Amino acid sequence: MSTQIIEDRIQSGDNTPQSPLISRGDKRGVTVAVAGNPNSGKSTLINALAGTRLSVGNWPGVTVEKKSAIFEYEGTKIRLVDLPGTYSLSPYTQEEIIAGDYLVNEKPDLVINVVDATNLERNLYLTVQLLELGIPVVIAMNIYDEAVKKGYEIEIKTMEEMLGVRVIPTVATKKTGLDDLLKAVTDITDGTFSHQPKKLNYGADIESAASAVEAQIRNSYPKLTEKYPLRWLAFKLMEKDSHTMEEINIGGTISFVDEKTEHLRKAHGEDIESIMADERYALASGLAHEVLKKPEFRKMEITEKIDKIALNRFLGIPIFLAAMWLVFKLTFDVSKPFADWMNSTASGPFKRWAEVLMSLIKAPDWTASLVTDGVIAGVGSVIVFVPVIFAMMFFITFLEGSGYMARAAFVMDRAMHAIGLHGKSFIPMLLGFGCNVPAVYATRTLENPKDKALTALLIPLMSCGARLPVYVVFIGAFFSAHAGTVLWSLYVMGIVLAVAMGLIFKKTLFRGEAPVFIMELPPYRMPSFKSLMIHTWEKGKHFLVKAGTYILAVSILVWFLLNLPWGVEQKRDSYLGKTGQIIAPVLEPLGFGSWEAASSLISGLIAKEIVVGTMGEIYVTKAEEEKKERPSFREDLRDVVVSFGTAAKAAALNVFSTPGISSLSAEEDEKRAGLKGEIQKAFTPLSAYAFIVFILLYMPCVVVAIAMSRSSARGNGSGSPLHTK
């Protein structure tokens, strides 16, 4: 394929309606919207076409925002716009509004309608609506290999003739059919292929009413016909689509529509919207029956077999809890040796090299201390947990990609109903295991303002990746023999407390019944290794960015607060120490009323992992005193390489070890040195567990608070998690 990426732009801050290079009608480029049902593979298709890294996942609703990528194909610059997955273009969900608004207002040159070949009938409903818009459409018959494997026969030619659009079988995950798809797109946009979609017939009654409404619009509101596709507008007015009516702003003057549709309502005994929906379903169903042949005898598929167990009403939740336990066990076993390697490298050779470098440039003593005891001790204490965070994100991404996370939401539906929510609210909560910030924003995919607000309030109880370093350092120090189980207990405690808090909220702030939960369960798929790696990186890199920005900044400030007033002898007499001493008595009943713990918790308000960084700085001097002789640079380097090999071997052995035997148990023999040793001296196992539970429960970090306030401030009810009417 001669596709060349010229730009990969996630449109997070771009307000320009279109790239100057890719304006409509411009010979140099075309804008192509990619629309389709949730989980039909739109983002995967764009990634395959343009080489981008848009997030994909084997669960519906991964894309809730428009994103775009620009690339070049045989001299044509193509701007692909990834629209959120929708089953229709009705204005009921945020995704439908975003997709519909874009198609109607931005009028892309062409729409690639990604259709899941294994669910043809359901997907064609959206196709029928897309054809109403009058925008050229090319159908990508995606996941075609799975349809063939199921024994489905899809008559592509017949479908093309019936709809008057090009239909291209594709397998986005294997990059099959993409050249044909791009050829079909450019054939239409450069006029080689005459695009003449068939006008789908909605039946005599609807067609005559629509014609009359169209005529009236043309006569009375000619300006509207310039802005909106006439047939689509007529349908929307007939359906009394509130979003469209609000947008065209002709208010009560559309009584003519009622006149034209009155007989329809009387004849069918239903409102026009239902009649139209029935007709669209009939068209989609008819089309599917014409072009699709299914095998007469269908054997039970692997997805159904697994779901019989995974979705069992008694086994579902225990299986979910077991899956989470396995994730934590594997996370620890795989990552801990690497974390230890990074810890020994950062606190040993790396620190020594920094000291040598500072002395070489003749830096003042205090700046050398700032670098080694502040920046390296602070940022280093957090950065050593990057392997743990990446391992956790890898396994969570695996669960997402396999399709199990959608099941988790399904099995939690009953528990969520108890607190007045439904299973769909559990999806933002699951996202919260990565980072609470996107999880708070993900609440806008929920339709009900009450659901949004309640879910956003419960999300901080989900243990985010930032809390992981604190958990790991304390679990490593006190509960190394049962590391996976203790970590699992914290995550489960978060979920249980969320349910308990939800029950309280349901009886006080958020009274009312939970709506019915309808969610598509995607088939189980084995995610590709490349995809797993990409998305693990996308999730995990956030922590590297944080380490280089505000963890660095806070480490510097904490160092100054520990060393001011200048020349202070004891850290407890420093500004930070004194502040910690003021707060410490409040924490005394919890079992950790020391100024060190209190000071760490203050800095943890910025970001939870800074608790570890601050402790690293507070305890650093004591640990350093134990260092005796200084190895040479070559010895250090050799030690770094050898210890990495040992870590890799330990990680591999841990994975195949008996469940419950974690790599951490081997560390019990290690001398009690460094941060872990200092923590062991300052806490008891009980107070350590109390401390990490406190980390789970005390106020969310500043960024989550900002996310919640921003969401709340948007204040129009439909988009605001914390704004209920």
Binding site for other proteins (CB under 8 A): 10-17, 53-55, 62-67, 94, 97-98, 101-102, 105-106, 364, 366-367, 370, 428, 431, 434-435, 437-439, 441-442, 444-445, 538-539, 541-542, 545-546, 549-550, 552-554, 556-557, 560, 566, 606, 702-704, 706-707, 710-711, 714, 716, 718-719
Q: What residues pair up with 36 in beta bridges, in sequence order?
A: 114
Q: Which is nearer to other proteins, 665 or 712 (CB)?
A: 712
DSSP string, 646-671: HHHHHHHHHHTSPTT--GGGGGGGS-
Shortest gap between Cβ of 611 and other proteins (angstroms)?
16
With a CB cutoff of 8 Å and minimum separation 6, the contacts of 109 are 24, 30, 31, 32, 135, 136, 189
| Non-local CB neighbours of 99 within 8 Å, separated by 6+ positions | 35, 83, 84, 86, 89
Backbone angles phi, psi at 214, to 5 degrees: -60, -45
Q: How far is the CB of 394 from other proteins (least distance, A)?
A: 15
CA distance 665 to 426: 34
Is the four-CA dihedral 21, 24, 25, 30 of positive or negative sign? positive
Q: Which is nearer to other proteins, 337 or 432 (CB)?
A: 432
Q: CB of 85: closest distance to other proteins in angstroms?
A: 11
Question: Smallest distance, Å, CB 56 to other proteins?
Answer: 10
Q: Contact at 8 Å (CB) between 330 and 651?
A: no
Q: Is the dihedral of CA 75, 76, 77, 83 positive or negative?
A: negative
* Shortest separation between residue 390's beta carbon and other proteins, angstroms: 13
Contact between residue 599 and residue 581 where contact means Cβ atoms under 8 Å apart: no
Q: Edge-to-edge, what's the strand order for the sheet holding 4-7? A: 4-7, 67-73, 76-82, 29-36, 110-116, 137-142, 166-169
Q: Nearest approach, Cβ of 116 to other proteins (angstroms)?
A: 19
Measured from the CB atom, the residue of 54 and 245 that comes closer to other proteins is: 54
Closer by beta carbon to other proteins, 355 or else 538: 538
Which one, 18 or 485, has the nearer CB to other proteins? 18
Q: Cα(191)–Cα(654) distance, rounded to whole angstroms?
A: 61
- In terms of CB distance, is 10 or 315 closer to other proteins? 10
Smallest Cα–Cα separation from 419: which of 493, 502, 344?
Answer: 502
User: Distance between CA atoms of 352 and 355, rounded to whole angstroms?
Assistant: 5
CB of 496 vs other proteins, minimal distance in Å: 25
Cβ 707 to other proteins shortest distance, Å: 4
Nearer to other proteins, 519 or 704 (CB): 704
Residue from 658, 641, 639, 670 nearest 333 by CA: 658
Q: Shortest Cβ distance from residue 84 to other proteins (Å)?
A: 8
**Residue 167: phi, psi to the nearest 5?**
-125, 120
Least CB distance to other proteins at residue 437 (A): 5
For the record, the structure tokens of 385 come out as 């947990």
Q: Which two tokens stand for residue 474?
A: 């304390």
What is the closest distance, in whole angstroms, from the C-beta atom of residue 550 to other proteins in the complex?
A: 5
* Cβ distance to other proteins smaller for residue 386 or 442: 442
Minimum distance, C-beta of residue 287 to other proteins, in the bound complex (Å) = 30
| Count of helix runs (H) and strand runs (E) in the chain | 34, 9
Nearest to 19 by CA among 63, 75, 81, 101: 81
What minimum distance in Å lies between the beta carbon of 59 and other proteins? 12
C-alpha to C-alpha distances, 362 to 199, 356, 357, 359, 366, nearest whole angstrom:
80, 10, 9, 5, 11
Burial (CB count within 10 angstroms: exposed 0-12, middle 13-18, buried 19+), residue 140: buried
CA distances from 479 to 149, 217, 309, 321, 476 (A): 49, 73, 33, 20, 6
Nearer to other proteins, 207 or 538 (CB): 538
Q: Calculate the CA 31 to chain-centre distance.
A: 26
| Closer to other proteins by Cβ: residue 101 or 639 | 101
From the CB of residue 595, how many other CB atoms can be counted at a distance below 10 Å? 21
* Cα–Cα dist 127/35, whole Å: 9
| Min dist. Cβ of residue 261 to other proteins (A) | 27
The Cα 551–Cα 314 span in angstroms is 44
* Alpha carbon distance 162, 154 (integer Å): 13
Furthest-apart CA pair in the chain: how many Å? 96
d(CA 679, CA 449): 44
Token couple for 575:
């500004």
Shortest spacing between CB 538 and other proteins, in angstroms:
6
Q: What's the min distance (Å) between Cβ of 350 and other proteins?
A: 21
Give 519 or 679: the residue with its C-beta nearer to other proteins. Answer: 519
Quick one: residue 399, left, alpha or beta (phi over 0 = left, psi -120 to 50 = alpha)? alpha
Residue closer to other proteins by CB (options 211, 549) is 549
| Cβ distance to other proteins smaller for residue 178 or 554 | 554
Nearer to other proteins, 13 or 269 (CB): 13
Q: Please identify, using beta-carbon distances, which residue of 82 and 333 lies nearer to other proteins.
A: 82
Rounded (5°) CA angle 356-359-361: 110
Cβ proximity to other proteins, 113 vs 443, nearer residue:
443
